[in-house]
A and B are shown apart, each in its own frame.
Chain A
Amino acid sequence: MFEIYERFADLVVYNLLGLQKGMHLAEALHFFVYDTLKIFTLLTVIIFVVSFIRSFFPLEKTREILSKHKAVALPLAAFLGILTPFCSCSAVPMFIGFVEAGIPLGAAFTFLVASPMVNEVALGLLLTLFGVKVAVLYVIFGVIVAIVAGYVIEKLNPRELIADYVFQVKLGQTQIKEMTFKERLEFAKNNVKEILGKIWIYIIIAIGIGGFIHGYVPQDIVERVAKTAGLIAVPLAVLIGIPLYSNAAGILPVIQALIAKGVPLGTALAFMMATTALSFPEFMILKQIMKPKLIAFFAGIVGISIIAVGYLFNFIFTL
């Protein structure tokens, strides 16, 4: 599918620049040219398609759907969380809106996890860098983590850890217009522009670092480090991931190069899930409506689930 980019990279590196195959610099440059083209093509396509689908599921509609199917609220919230565009700054109104509609608290938490965790940029990058199998498993595990988090929190009965006013606010009449087909296309196009406009520089830098690793870092060193880090690598990756919120884009191409050199895939995936699902800004926003204890539970449950997924992934892919 990307043969043309492969040939283009060959042309630039070997013919235009006259570098020899097998040289460190040639390997690094070839990786850079090929990966840049491939990643940006796929990200454009994937963000466009996902945004188009998402235009059918604004948060207000998601609320309506969930309130009609309370019996299956948890899995449904996980599924809709993936399809519903959601900025963590909307966490408070979302919470209140869900509570007002009688949606179980656990489902609100499930939604809160699923929506950022399975995001289009991460999905696009995983698909580009690691293939369909990894991308599909990422979605499945993302959904499982979200459902587990919601279920456990529901069982904790967190009602008294949530500010009273959440249960008292009345929502006004919803006045969201349906989009036309043309507006949906426009929405998807604008999303591509906005997201790529925000992350392109990180991706380029990351591919540059990835190219360097690919060309210059010897495989045995990485393998030795990965082996030494062993079991603590997964929780460590999750901890490092938390402050790096939403920069999955700037990390994955680096990780791809490291994985090619022997870093386990589950460790990388745990890292990425942590960057998108756990974030300090979101915790600060949630503080408006819930006690720190509940936020700590929430972060703990999601963190532990992600670590479990990391180990599971490492296990599956070393069989």
Chain B
Amino acid sequence: MKEIKILSGTNCQNCELLYQVVSEIVKRKGIDAKVEKVVDIQEVLKYGVMTTPVLVVDGEVKHVGTPIPAPQKIEELIGG
């Protein structure tokens, strides 16, 4: 099972959007994955990034910052 994390800032609209798009793709494609949103700042900083949102798949940073990629691109990044 894949572990997908969306690292988010507080009060960050794009982070919320990315989380929803990823969740929807996982559901629609039936990908075997756990999608989790991480808002805890100390947890976020462990990945060495300061720009949100961050897409992490199985511990690997796949995308950082805005604009968030198109859904097809996100699908590719998740590897569904």
Asked if A and B are interacting partners, one says yes
A interface list, Cβ under 8 A from B: 58-60, 63, 85-87, 89-94, 96-97, 165, 169-176, 187, 190-191, 193-194, 281, 284-285, 288
Do A90 and B51 have beta carbons less than 8 Å apart? Answer: yes
Residue pairs across A and B with Cβ atoms less than 8 A apart, 6 shown, are: A58-B51, A60-B49, A89-B10, A92-B9, A93-B41, A190-B69
- Which of B14, B15, B48, B66 is the one whose CB lies under 8 Å from A174? B48
CA of A60 to CA of B65, assembled, Å: 11
How far apart are A273's CB and chain B's nearest CB, in angstroms?
22
- Which of A85, A89, A176 is the one whose CB lies under 8 Å from B15? A89
Which residues of the partner chain B approach A89 to less than 8 Å between Cβ atoms?
8-15, 52
Do A87 and B67 have beta carbons less than 8 Å apart? Answer: no
B interface list, Cβ under 8 A from A: 8-15, 41-42, 44-52, 60-61, 64-67, 69-70
Do A176 and B64 have beta carbons less than 8 Å apart? Answer: yes
Do A63 and B50 have beta carbons less than 8 Å apart? Answer: yes
CA of A116 to CA of B8, assembled, Å: 20
Which residues of the partner chain A approach B13 to less than 8 Å between Cβ atoms?
89
Closest to A100 in B: B45
Do B46 and A172 have beta carbons less than 8 Å apart? Answer: yes
With A87-B9, A175-B61 as known contacts, state yes or no: A92 contacts B41, CB within 8 Å.
yes
Which residues of the partner chain B approach A58 to less than 8 Å between Cβ atoms?
51, 64-65
Interface-centre pick from B15, B49, B70 (highest chain A CB count, 10 A) = B49
With A59-B50, A63-B50 as known contacts, state yes or no: A288 contacts B10, CB within 8 Å.
yes
